[in-house]
Amino acid sequence: IVLGFVLMALSQVLIWLPPMRGESLVNVAYAAAMLGIFWFGFTAAIAPYLALLPEMTEDLGERVKLSTFQAFFSQVSTVVNGVAVPVMIAALGFFNTALALTSIALAVFIPFLAVVKEKPPEEVKAAKLSLVEAVRITFTNRVFLYYLIPTALLVLTVNMVQMDIPYLVTVSAGLEKQHVSLFYLPLIVASVLMLPIVKKASGRYGKKKVYMWGMGLFGVPIVLLATVGLTSLDPVVLIVIVGVLGGIAAAPLFVLPNAIIADITDIDEQMTGYRREAMYFGAQGLVTKSMAGLAGVLNSALLRYLGYAPGNDLGIRMVLVVAGLALIPAVLIFRRYPVTK
């Protein structure tokens, strides 16, 4: 985690100090190297960081509580990214903004190092498996697949919507770029307010039901968003309403995935005799990042062949329809997930 965090911190500052002035292939290579280092560091830090969750507590309720805190601070960072960072860039420039944000991250990270205590290596049943065997066991674990496939479809949906929103706002709704916040701010506020309810509902009804409800309900406002500008309802009002409804439905999707994987690793330990949290979080990251890439391909194809211009925006609307409908098989598959606690 420390190594990955250092690589992230250095690369996100150094990328704003290109070696050549103006456009240059040297700068292209430099930017590619810095981005490669950043994402290598991200993977190196985040996979073991997430893998600490099931090690911190074996209590299912406490895992949901920890995941709720993770979701809360993740949403806070999203607000900072969307609201404060553009202001900082305008006032300070890219390099100084990166330096300031990295300093804030360091201030948050140092207490983490001081407080979080890992179990001694001799107390952890580390897997003595080859990489090929470890991957094979992970991707043939049916319990994991019943979770992973729906979550991959969910990530596909979310990324398709994120890529499409700027087109919808500026082309279909006829608004300005800054009006994209009309969707995101209500979504974030509603999802944060819903976090305590999600935590309580998960304890009462189980993570499976609450996560499944979230996936199913999230598709409704997404499809509704495709009607912007086609009804008598003011586009601004409709976008805000959809943002609120989306936030309510999305709250379980922010909270529960990490807690669910923690439960899956307990099942895996019963099957293999080893603790393999990082392998499962890594496998999820590999698949979900691939789905994010697929979202870009699908969006590009739909926009190109169906249109993304004023008066010819069917592609923009169909992206949302396809994204919403992708959650139907996600829910149907997740119904077979066997852990109901």
Distance of CA 178 to the CA centre of its chain: 22
At 308-339, the pLDDT tens digits run 999 899 999 999 999 999 999 999 999 999 98
For residue 122, pLDDT beyond 70: no
Q: Is 282 helix (H, G, I), strand (E, B) or coil?
A: helix
* pLDDT, position 67: 86
Separation of alpha carbons 275 and 277, rounded Å = 6
At 101-118, the pLDDT tens digits run 999 888 888 888 788 777
* pLDDT, position 28: 94
Separation of alpha carbons 325 and 218, rounded Å = 10
Q: Which pLDDT band, with edges at 50, 70 and 90, does 34 fall under?
A: very high
* Average model confidence (pLDDT) across the chain: 90
Separation of alpha carbons 4 and 12, rounded Å = 12
Separation of alpha carbons 285 and 44, rounded Å = 12
At 219-246, the pLDDT tens digits run 999 999 999 989 889 999 999 999 999 9
At 259-299, the pLDDT tens digits run 899 889 889 988 888 888 888 988 998 898 899 889 999 99
Mean pLDDT of 59-68: 84
CB proximity list for 167: less than 8 A, separation 6 or greater: 303, 308, 313, 316
Q: Which pLDDT band, with edges at 50, 70 and 90, does 121 fall under?
A: low
* pLDDT, position 125: 67
Are the C-beta atoms of residues 160 and 266 closer than 8 Å to each other? no
* pLDDT, position 219: 95
* pLDDT, position 246: 94
Are the C-beta atoms of residues 156 and 291 closer than 8 Å to each other? yes
Long-range pairs for 69-76: beta carbons < 8 A, 24 or more residues apart? 70/255, 70/258, 71/191, 71/195, 71/251, 71/254, 71/255, 72/192, 72/195, 74/254, 75/188, 75/191, 75/192, 75/254, 76/192
Whole-structure pTM value? 0.82
Mean pLDDT of 53-75: 83
Separation of alpha carbons 46 and 1, rounded Å = 7
Which residue from 328, 199, 318, 339 is spatially nearest to 260, judged by alpha carbons? 339
Least confident of 53-57, 164-168, 300-304: 53-57
Mean pLDDT of 195-206: 91
Whose structure tokens read 């001799």?
122
Are the C-beta atoms of residues 339 and 263 closer than 8 Å to each other? yes
- Concatenating the DSSP letter of every residue in 1-25 gives -HHHHHHHHHHHHHTTS-SSSSS-H
Which of 78-87, 154-163, 254-263, 271-280: highest mean pLDDT?
A: 154-163
- Copy the structure tokens of residue 66: 């920890």
